[in-house]
Structure 1
Amino acid sequence: MPVKPETDPYYRLRHSAAHVMAQAVLELFPEGKIAIGPPIEDGFYYDFDLPRPLTPDDLEEIEKRMRRIIAGKHPFVYRVVDPDEARALFRDQPYKLELIDGLLHGQDEYGEQGSTNTVISTYRHDTFEDLCRGPHLEHTGQIPPDAFKLMSVAGAYWRGDSNRPMLQRIYGTAWNSKEELDAYLHRLEEAKRRDHRRIGKELGLFYFSEDIGPGLPLFTPKGEMLRHLMESYVREVQTRYGYQHVWTGHIVKETLYKKSGHYEAYRENMFPPMIEDEEHVYRLKPMNCPSHMTLYKEMGIHSYRDLPLRFAEFATLYRYEERGTLTGLTRVRALTQDDCHIFCRPDQIEEEFGLALRLIREVLETYRFTNYRVRLSLRGEGGKYIADDEAWDLAERALRTALDHYSVQYEEAPGEAAIYGPKADFLAHDVLGREWQLSTIQVDFIQPRRLGLEYIAEDGQPRTPVVLHRAVTGTTERFMGVLIEHFAGAFPLWLAPVQAVVIPISDERHGAYAADVGRQLTAAGLRVEVDLSRERMQAKIRQAQLQKIPYMLIIGDREQHAGAVAVRCRSGEDLGAVPVAAFIARARAEIEAKA
């Protein structure tokens, strides 16, 4: 995803490295055509139309040429050119000519309408010149020659349009020092080791099938247990905080989304309509808010004394994501959202924000996401928004006031708001330092008005309530993927689908006692398996470790005679023989503490 120069400290470095890479590629393929090459998170890319597919040897050669160019310390020189000069400069580059025409018609480099920049400018270094607004480093020598690496080659349609030419996209990364590069490459290797798609399959949690369709996960009994534990925990916390759980189905009449404004702004992400007749056209539900607001209306007249009302739902939603964007559990087409809508008076916004803030903090800390930042997502370029300046201004002021009242430090992010209001997004860092947007609190003055929501105020007059949209963990599927990688599949005891496995040394001599221990643990509320397979004990222990089961309870003659179990942790630690009742007490205390 492209980044912005004002928010990314590596922007100039990576933008400059992209230009140097483009020069090196054109040196290797003088007849090549170039497209665009922006900095992105952790690196950069550039798209090329080349006479043949690139190979790993080509990437090595391109890197060598880049180091030679860097050593020349060539200045990056900015200049403004008129359209005719630009066309002459790029007369052999069809993608650049298309970009020039787009700039003159108010388009950005991605072909999106709405750009106000009609200035055509270039940056030149050495023999290479490209359409560019910058910024760049002062000269190529400021790129550390041992702190960049070309990572991979992928196919990419020109401007993301499958009807346009397929280009070759070279991805690279660049850092301020070799130490930073090495640390990044180590994080990538660790991320591969923790990949939730691999671990999920190894632990038997979920699968995808072409017979079902892309982006539609299938959860095994263990995977469903993990889902159940995650959702039950949030449900318990929400209930404790005064939220009421509702259910509003899977399909909704299309007309409701036209009233709410979602149809106009969001229909490309909806699954195709299901048509009963002209008046009854249905959509699979892509979001909950119009349904919750309709429920509010159908429940009758509300007094100011009834507010706030807090509706929560674990609802499966359906979004028609592009197939190429689907990624394991973190980007799916069927997603279960821990959604909540708080109907309140304007004077209750601050208090309700504080309640939601405490709830979010409690849940994130339980899941060991203690390092997070808050982003104030506002209207800006690149977003789709329902037009209502007065409502937007009210919502923004209310959200800022609430953030300031609770001393929440935040960064502003224009262009990141949802279609109907600004929001506070909680972006948490996992154990690898990667950032995930998990929780959200949004202030909405627009939808309640569009859908005709009312309450009777203290003066007896009807008023429109404010709605706070709030999600704690976002979606079950995505959050499960994040958790699998955060814990590398080694879930804390309270969250583990199987908490202990009982392993008899000899099935003949110890099998009956092992089964009895399993029954005792199950009766105490623990999730237990008894391994009575024909494998040897060490193989059973190894299998339990591979399954990342927290406790292995070994049973031999001594344990059987003493009414005990020999406790081993998945880490390899041996806790020795422990009476069954003592192990149950230990496990239940650990579960209760969610340690």
Structure 2
Amino acid sequence: MDKEQYLAVYRHSLAHVLAKAVIEIYGKDVQYAIGPQIEDGAYYDFVLPAGKSITEADFTAIENKMHEILKRKEDWTCREVSRAEALELFKNQKFKTELIGDLPEDEKITVYYTGDDYVDLCRGPHVSNSQELLSAAFKIHSTSMAYWRGDEKRDRLQRVYLYAFPSKDELKAHLKMIEEAKERDHRKIGTQLELFMFNETAPGMPYWLPRGWQMYQALMKYSRQIQRKHGYTEIAAPLINNKRLWLVSGHWAHYLNNMFIVPGVDGYTKADVDVDELVADLKDPDAETSKTKIEAGSVVYNRENPDTMAAKPMNCPNAMLTYKRKTRSYKELPIRYGEYDVLHRKEKSGQLNGLLRVQEFRQDDCHTFVMESQIKDEIADIISIADEVYKTFGVSYRAELSTRPDDFMGDIEVWNQAEADLREILDEKYGKGGYEVNEGDGAFYGPKIDLQIKDAIGREWQCGTIQLDFQLPHNFGLTYTAEDGSSQMPVVIHRAIYGSLERFIGIIIENFKGNFPFWLSPMQVGIVPIRPEHNAYAKKIEDLLVDRGIRVEADYNDINMKTKIKTFHNYRDPYILVLGDKEAAENTVSINIRGNKKLNDVPVEKFLELCDRMNKTHCLDIIDTLD
């Protein structure tokens, strides 16, 4: 086995040991559900006997029981059983019974015994004896609530998480990384720096506070500069569209559960619509009636009502309509549209995670319309954009190719050709084997390249994506007049480099630990007049900075100078200017540089040039010298 396969077996086996330990401690009445391996360990879901739950105080006892089980050096035995035998084995385990009942009739059913007293429904593979896990380094780190099969209407389970690594040194390194990650948590830093907030009235939809919005705008400005340099023009489109648009694009069939629906209503409503029931009805074309009364809201709506609308979850269909508005010639291609409109995607509440998983966001979304002969050069240019952008943020990245999913749209031969084209491009850029292939993980309309960036502590995040699309141009009837006068269909390339700006900001908050480069900092310069009589000079400096487009804040209150400096220091402003008699007389500034360095008697023009240089070059560090 390679390392990944070994880790999967190792961690999945420890999940079984965890389940056995919980049962031995809490009794045979424990209902155990599923226990898969995950990236850094494993988890198992349980329903404990009435009145019992696992708390942090119980973690050590469970870990000790796991070590005790391993020291027994029990054999692990795999048995293939009939459906009837499986149901008998798990007759007191409701979750296992349900899983067995859902298996296809011809499915091979296997169970694994750990010793003689613990058996689990599992495909495996696992270790052959517990002694293979004696050197295991593991630690229970948390519990959470989960719903059976992710359904909020089903049983509530207690999920127990476990870190697991082959050696103590690897576990120790991982725990150190986890502690560092906690210090970098974007939700914690975002609150400290007053960047954003959330409110229960709009779950998963961030409020951008003045400082955070300044940084957001700096990201947008940089993205726009890059796009202009590479021949993109920016468009904007409606945020809510009639369902007819989503029917044409295919999103109504493939993405309805993740869309916010604005139903067309016959009659009137006194309360909220039960949207889950609405969506279920909209998806069922064989329903006996096209009208359904939703009791929760006293609404009668019509599935066929032409007024049914949806908030857009992506920009693609609008870009298609923008292209289609007039006759196109091969001489115009490539046509590159950039778009930053607000998007909405419906997520389950348990999946929301600060800025990393939201329901409202913007993307640095671009759609390029090309001839097939232009695909290779265009994608090469997009990858060069990714190289430039990620270098600016000091992060490395790797590429992944995602191929045809089960629910793909279109001709399979077209898919095969598209995937072959992307493989050739990636082979030339990164070399064969220099990228990963995720079979079946493409979008429903075409294969894609995902770009995974690595942050300062080694975590990977999926941000950029390049998607080849032969389907939407077909669905929307897009054409161009070829050189020979024939009508041809363009290919669309979807691409984003940041991906979701919200998610990207969450990532860079953690990557920089809130100490942003000058060009990206919410506020770049703080101004501290020492006494009220220095306010006039401070205002002069503020005006000069504002005229240069530098983000500046000044504190003119009659309070202690050190209090003012501390405030700006806590906001992590790169430069804090301290202005008094000497500075006013000599037209200079004294600078407190983030990181506790100082520059004194700096001519104002020199400082302005320094700020201009850092904004223009998007340099990664704070310059602490005038050289």
For normalisation by structure 2, the TM-score amounts to 0.88
Counterpart for residue 80 of structure 2:
80
Name the CA distance, whole Å, in 2 between partners of 1:548 and 1:59: 38
1:188 offset after TM fit, Å?
Answer: 1.6
Deviation per residue, 1:220-272 (Å, 9 max, x gap): 22222111110111111011101111111211121121112111011111112
- C-alpha distance 308-433 of structure 1, shift in aligned 2 (>3 A): same
- C-alpha offsets along residues 181-231 of structure 1, whole Å, 9 cap, x if unaligned? 1221222222121111121121111111123x1011111222221111101
Within 1, Cα distance between the matches of 2:144 and 2:468? 40
What residue in structure 1 maps to residue 234 of structure 2?
A: 245
> What is the distance in 1 between the residues matched to 2:348 and 2:74?
42
Alpha carbons of structure 1 residues 206 and 308: separation in structure 2 relative to 1, 3 Å: same
Would you say 1:258 and 2:247 are equivalent positions? yes
Shift of 1:443: 0.8
SS in 2 for 1:215: coil
- Give the Cα–Cα distance (whole angstroms) in 2 for the partners of residues 429 and 334 of structure 1: 25
How many angstroms does 1:274 deviate by?
A: 3.7
The answer to whether the aligner puts 1:45 opposite 2:43 as a matched pair is: yes
Q: 1:319 aligns with which of 324, 341, 345?
A: 345
Q: Residues 558-569 of structure 1 correspond to what in structure 2 (within 5 A)? A: 558-569=582-593
1:189 is aligned, of 179, 193, 200, to 179
Write the distance in 2 (CA, Å) between the matches of 1:450 and 1:390: 17
CA contact (8 A) 1:247 1:315 kept: yes
Aligned position for 2:609: 585
1:429 to partner: Cα distance: 0.7
1:15 maps to: 12
Q: Distance in 1 between matches of 2:598 and 2:25?
A: 60
| Map of 1:166 onto structure 2 | 156
**Structure 2 matches for 1:178-257, cutoff 5 A?**
178-211=168-201, 213-257=202-246
Alpha-carbon separation, structure 1, partners of 2:181 and 2:557? 33
d(CA) in 2 for partners of 1:267, 1:64: 47
Alpha-carbon shift at residue 10 of structure 1 (Å) = 2.1
1:49, 1:167 within 8 Å by CA — same for their partners in 2?
A: yes
Q: Is the 1:377–1:413 contact (alpha carbons within 8 Å) kept by the matching residues of 2?
A: yes
Question: Amino acid of the residue matched to residue 330 of structure 1?
Answer: L
Instruction: Choose 161-170 or 350-359, whichever is displaced more.
Output: 161-170
Q: Which residue of 2 aligns with 1:452?
A: 477
Cα deviation for residue 561 of structure 1 reads 2.7
Let me know the Cα RMSD of the aligned residues. Answer: 1.9
> Bigger shift: 340-349 or 383-392?
383-392
- Note the C-alpha offset of 1:418: 0.9
Q: Which amino acid aligns with 1:234?
A: S
Gaps of 5+ in 2: 267-304, 620-627
Structure-to-structure mapping, 1:134-533, within 5 angstroms: 134-143=124-133, 147-211=137-201, 213-275=202-264, 278-298=305-325, 300-369=326-395, 371-380=396-405, 384-407=407-430, 409-505=434-530, 507-533=531-557
The question of whether the paired residues in 1 share the 8 Å contact of 2:410 and 2:471 is answered with no
Match of 1:546 in 2: 570
Contact 1:5 1:11 in 2 (8 A): no
Instruction: Tell me, in whole angstroms, the C-alpha distance in 2 between the residues paired with 1:591 and 1:79.
Output: 66
Aligned-partner Cα distance in 1 for 2:169–2:370: 52
2:114 pairs with 1:90:
no
Deviation at 1:276, TM superposition (A): 7.2
- For residue 143 of structure 1, report the CA deviation from its aligned partner: 2.8
Structure 1, residues 487-514: CA drift from partner, whole Å, max 9, x if none? Answer: 1111100011211111122x23423222
Deviation at 1:79, TM superposition (A): 2.2
Query: Any conservation in 2 of the 1:510–1:556 contact (CA below 8 Å)?
Result: yes
Residue 537 of structure 2 aligns to a residue in which SS? Answer: helix
Residue 452 of structure 2 aligns to a residue whose secondary structure is strand
The answer to which of 321-330 and 526-535 deviates more is 526-535
TM-score by length of 1: 0.93
Partner Cα separation in structure 2 for residue 413 and residue 25 of structure 1: 35
Residue 527 of structure 1: how far off its partner (Å): 1.3
Quote the Cα distance in structure 2 between the aligned partners of 1:123 and 1:575.
Answer: 69
Q: What is the identity, as a one-letter code, of the residue corresponding to 1:172?
A: L
Does structure 1 conserve the Cα–Cα contact (< 8 Å) formed by 2:466 and 2:495? yes
Partner of 1:111: none
User: In the alignment, does 2:23 pair up with 1:26?
Assistant: yes
1-structure distance, mates of 2:615, 2:487: 48
Q: Which deviations, in whole Å up to 9, do the C-alpha atoms of 1:115-135 show, x marking residues without a partner?
A: xx8111122222322111112
